C-alpha cells in the first residue's frame, strides 16, 4: 500500500514549486508562473529532440550563430520556443540566449521583473549521434524597478534566484534549485508531467571520476596538468580516478552531481578564458553544484563571484565534489604563491 500511496501522491514540479512558494508568503506567484513556462519549453524541446531522427530536424540549418557554429535546425527551434514561452509568461524583462548576440528586451506590454539567461540546446554538436543534450537556464531579478538595462543581466552568479537544466537523453530530466537545495524531476510522457524522482540531491564529498577533454592536455597550465596527473597517478596510495567525458556539459555535470568527482573545462594557451560561457553555462551549473554541497572554481576565484562584463564572455571552470575542488584550489594557490 506504500507503493500505491507513492504512486497516487504524485509530486509534480508544479506542486513542488507551489509548495516552495508557500514558504514565501510575500510572493505573488510570479516565479511559479515563470517556471511553468520554462517547463513548457522543456517539454516541447524534449518532444522535438525525441522526434529529431524521424522528423529530419537534425542536420544543418544553413545559418551560423554568434559563436560561428553551424546552427542545426533543433537549435533554431529550441531557441524560438524558449523565447516565445518566456515572453508569453509576462514575467520577464530581459532574455539572454546563447543563440542571440544581443540581449532581448521584452516589450513593455508583456514585461515582468525576471531576467532569464539560457542556452536552449547545449551540446547540440552531439545531436546527430544521439548523445544527451540539454537546456541550461538561470534566473535573476532585475536590479531595481526602473526600465530594464543591460546591467540587469551582468550580475554575479551569486545573485541568481534560481538555476537549472533539462537533459534530453534516455529520459527527460529537469534538475533545478531555487536556492534551498537541488531537486530532480523526470518527465512522465504518459502524463506530460515532471515527477519528483531525485529529491534533495547532494553531491558526494569526494568522487572517483574526473571529466576533462584530455585532447587539450598540451595546452594546460601547470596546476591543471598537475591535478590531472594526480588523478591518473595518485602518490598517496589511493586508486586512480576513472575518466568519463561525454562532451555535452549537461550530461557531464549531471553525472558529476549524482556520482561525485570533478568536471573541468580549464583555460589553456589556445583559449585563455576557457570555452564555457559565464552567464548560461558556468553560473547555472555552479549555482546547482553549491546548492548540492559541492564547489565551483575558476582557477582564480569562486565562480559565482565572477562579475560578467559581456553577455557571451567565457570562464574556466572546475566544479564538483567539495574535497576534490579543494585539491584543485590548493594547486592554484601554490602556483599563485610561487609567482
Ligand atoms: P570540447 C558543447 O559544444 C559544449 O559547449 C559543452 O556542452 C561541452 O561541455 C563542451 O562544449 C565540450 O567542448 O572542446 O571538449 O568539445
Ligand 1 pocket: which of 68, 69, 122, 267 to mutate (most atoms within 8 A of CB):
122
At residue 222, φ and ψ (nearest 5 deg) are -55, -55
Which atom, in ligand 1's list, is nearest to the CA of 133?
Answer: 7
Show the cell assigned to 25. 508568503
For the stretch 116-126, pLDDT in tens is 999 999 998 88
- Does the ipTM surpass 0.95? yes
Report the 3 state secondary structure along 272-321: CCCCCEHHHHHHHHHHHHHHCCCEEECCCCEHHHCCCCCCCCECCEEEEC
* Mean confidence (pLDDT) of the chain: 92
- Residue whose CA is closest, atom 12 of ligand 1? 247
Atom of ligand 1 lying closest to residue 277 CA = 5
Q: Is the CB of 124 under 6 A from ligand 1?
A: no
**How deeply is 149 buried, as exposed, middle or buried, from its count of CB atoms within 10 A (0-12, 13-18, 19+)?**
middle
Please give the average per-residue pLDDT across 310-333, as a whole number. Answer: 98
Q: Is 71's pLDDT higher than 60?
A: no
Confidence of residue 79 (pLDDT cuts 50, 70, 90): very high
Q: Is 122's C-beta closer than 6 angstroms to any atom of ligand 1?
A: yes
Distance 13 CA to ligand 1 centre (A): 29
Distance separating alpha carbons of residues 157 and 281, to the nearest angstrom: 11
pLDDT confidence of 263, banded at 50, 70, 90?
A: very high
User: Which ranges in the chain belong to alpha helices (H)?
Assistant: 2-8, 13-22, 30-55, 73-88, 222-232, 249-259, 283-291, 322-338
**Cell numbers placing 280:** 548560461
Give the number of the atom of ligand 1 that is nearest the alpha carbon of residue 252.
9
Q: Which ligand 1 atom lies nearest to the CA of residue 247? A: 12
d(CA 219, ligand 1 centre) in Å: 16
**Residue of 127, 167, 248, 318 to test ligand 1 pocket, by largest number of atoms within 8 Å of CB:** 248
- How close is the Cα of 161 to the center of ligand 1, in Å? 26
pLDDT at 25 over 80: no
Name the pTM for this structure.
Answer: 0.94
Q: Is the CB of 268 under 6 A from ligand 1?
A: no
Compare 37 and 68 and report the one with higher pLDDT.
37
125 within ligand 1 shell (Cβ under 6 A): yes
pLDDT of 285 over the 90 cut: yes
Rounded to the nearest angstrom, the distance between the alpha carbon of 125 and the centre of ligand 1 is: 8
- Report whether residue 249 contacts ligand 1, using a CB cutoff of 6 Å: yes
Amino acid at each position: 500500500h506504500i507503493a500505491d500511496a507513492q504512486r497516487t501522491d504524485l509530486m509534480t514540479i508544479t506542486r513542488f514549486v507551489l509548495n516552495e512558494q508557500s514558504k514565501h508568503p510575500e510572493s505573488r506567484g510570479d516565479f511559479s508562473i515563470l517556471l511553468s513556462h520554462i517547463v513548457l519549453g522543456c517539454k516541447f524541446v524534449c518532444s522535438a529532440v525525441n522526434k529529431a531522427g524521424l522528423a529530419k530536424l537534425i542536420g544543418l540549418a544553413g545559418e551560423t550563430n554568434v559563436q560561428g557554429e553551424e546552427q542545426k535546425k533543433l537549435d533554431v527551434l529550441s531557441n524560438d520556443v524558449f523565447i516565445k514561452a518566456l515572453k508569453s509568461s509576462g514575467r520577464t524583462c530581459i532574455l539572454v540566449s546563447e543563440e542571440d548576440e544581443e540581449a532581448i528586451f521584452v516589450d513593455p506590454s508583456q514585461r515582468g521583473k525576471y531576467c532569464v539567461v539560457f542556452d536552449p540546446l547545449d551540446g547540440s554538436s552531439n545531436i546527430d549521434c544521439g548523445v544527451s543534450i540539454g537546456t541550461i537556464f538561470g534566473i535573476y531579478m532585475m536590479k531595481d524597478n526602473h526600465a530594464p538595462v543591460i546591467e540587469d543581466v551582468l550580475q554575479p552568479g551569486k545573485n541568481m534566484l534560481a538555476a537549472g537544466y533539462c537533459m534530453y537523453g534516455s529520459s527527460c530530466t529537469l534538475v533545478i534549485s531555487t536556492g534551498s537545495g537541488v531537486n530532480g524531476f523526470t518527465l512522465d510522457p504518459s502524463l506530460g508531467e515532471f515527477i519528483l524522482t531525485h529529491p534533495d540531491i547532494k553531491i558526494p564529498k569526494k568522487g572517483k571520476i574526473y571529466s576533462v577533454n584530455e585532447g587539450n592536455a598540451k595546452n594546460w597550465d601547470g596546476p591543471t596538468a598537475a591535478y590531472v596527473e594526480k588523478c591518473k597517478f595518485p602518490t598517496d596510495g589511493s586508486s586512480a580516478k576513472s575518466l568519463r567525458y561525454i562532451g555535452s556539459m549537461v550530461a557531464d555535470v549531471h553525472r558529476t552531481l549524482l556520482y561525485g568527482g570533478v568536471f573541468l573545462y580549464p583555460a589553456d594557451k589556445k583559449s585563455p578564458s576557457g570555452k564555457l560561457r559565464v552567464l548560461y553555462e558556468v553560473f547555472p551549473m555552479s549555482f546547482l553544484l553549491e546548492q548540492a554541497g559541492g564547489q565551483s572554481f575558476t582557477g582564480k576565484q569562486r565562480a559565482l563571484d565572477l562579475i560578467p562584463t559581456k553577455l557571451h564572455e567565457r570562464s574556466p571552470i572546475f566544479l564538483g565534489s567539495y574535497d576534490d575542488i579543494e585539491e584543485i584550489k590548493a594547486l592554484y594557490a601554490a602556483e599563485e604563491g610561487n609567482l
